[in-house]
Structure 1
Amino acid sequence: MIEKIAEQLVNLTVKQVNELATILKKEYGIEPYNSVKLENTSKSKEEISKKEEKTVFNIILKSSGNSKLSVVKLVKEITGKGLRESKDLVDNIPSLIKDSVNKKEAEDLKNKFEGIGAIIEIE
């Protein structure tokens, strides 16, 4: 008997499966597993994205623009590295200038670099 029911279920058309799902939901309060799972998954992702807002950022130099010397000086000031190391960072773009900074500091640094013509990416 169970085998016959299983065979009938496997041979249902898409329309029939939808009708069966509707009957099971209305008559017996049974939700199809996939729809319940998808609803919970989408809610969880929304809640997680709200809770896990990024708080630590990396400053990456993408371009030094026209004023390479000014960018080298600013990199030296921000990183505390020597002139040679700062120049190497500017010469080897893209370069990680500073890592693990908060949002405010990241925005401030980006504004400083953009003020002298450099292109910065915050990750």
Structure 2
Amino acid sequence: MSAPCRYAARSCARSIRPSTSLRASSSFMQTTTPTIQRRHETTAAPTNPKISGIVDQISQLTLLETADLVSSLKSRLNIPDLPVGGFAAAPAAAPAAAEEADEPAPAAQEKTLFSVKLQSFDAAAKAKIIKEVKGLLGLSLVDSKKFVESAPKMMKDAVPKEEAEKIVATMKELGAVVVMD
């Protein structure tokens, strides 16, 4: 209990029992003060005593021992390392790409999905290009302006051929240089 809290509790105890001495009021406070629960002392009892024992053992580990425990569990349970701050879906896509890289691609297969990249733009048509990028990508006006000013930049990825050609034609009419890969 902090000092102001103790002071307030003592003054309350004195107002309740004005005739008792300071000693009596302090003993009164000790018997009526509720016990303070610590974060690690939860009130909910674990359902399984085995789990309770494991939790007790883990809570007594040092930081280095905890790191070793985590790495051991990851290796035994085959849990992949996820990048910090990354998306959870990104590691799932990586094995698929690795499998595709292992298999040789058929030489005669025609490309169906394209990437559209904004290379540069005419300064006079900047406002029109920003509005078009805003409509195409669904960005806010400020984000669209930042996007256009940071050219060259990838606009869309994995776009069907017809849609990519339409985007390229529209942007070229406005005065932008757009490349379809």
Equivalent-residue separation in structure 1 for 2:139 and 2:128 (angstroms): 15
Whether 1:62 aligns to 2:130 is no
RMSD: 1.7
1:8 corresponds to which residue?
A: none
What does 1:26-105 correspond to in 2, within 5 Å?
Answer: 48-51=106-109, 53-65=110-122, 66-105=124-163
Equivalent-residue separation in structure 2 for 1:86 and 1:98 (angstroms): 13
Task: Note the C-alpha offset of 1:97.
Answer: 1.2
Whether 1:117 aligns to 2:175 is yes
% identical aligned pairs: 32
Task: Note the C-alpha offset of 1:55.
Answer: 1.1
Superposed CA deviations along residues 59-115 of structure 1, whole A, max 9, x for unmatched, are 110112130010000000000010111111100011111111100000000000001
Equivalent-residue separation in structure 1 for 2:147 and 2:164 (angstroms): 18
Superposed CA deviations along residues 28-83 of structure 1, whole A, max 9, x for unmatched, are xxxxxxxxxxxxxxxxx9x93212x2111111101121300100000000000101
Structure 1: which amino acid aligns with 2:171? F
Provide the secondary structure at the position in 2 that maps to 1:49.
coil
Instruction: Give the TM-score, by structure 1 length.
Output: 0.59
Equivalent-residue separation in structure 2 for 1:85 and 1:95 (angstroms): 13
Unaligned runs of 5+ residues in structure 2 are 1-103
Greater Rg over alpha carbons, structure: 2
Structure with the larger helix share:
1
Instruction: Give the TM-score, by structure 2 length.
Output: 0.40
- Paired residue total: 77
Provide the secondary structure at the position in 2 that maps to 1:48.
coil
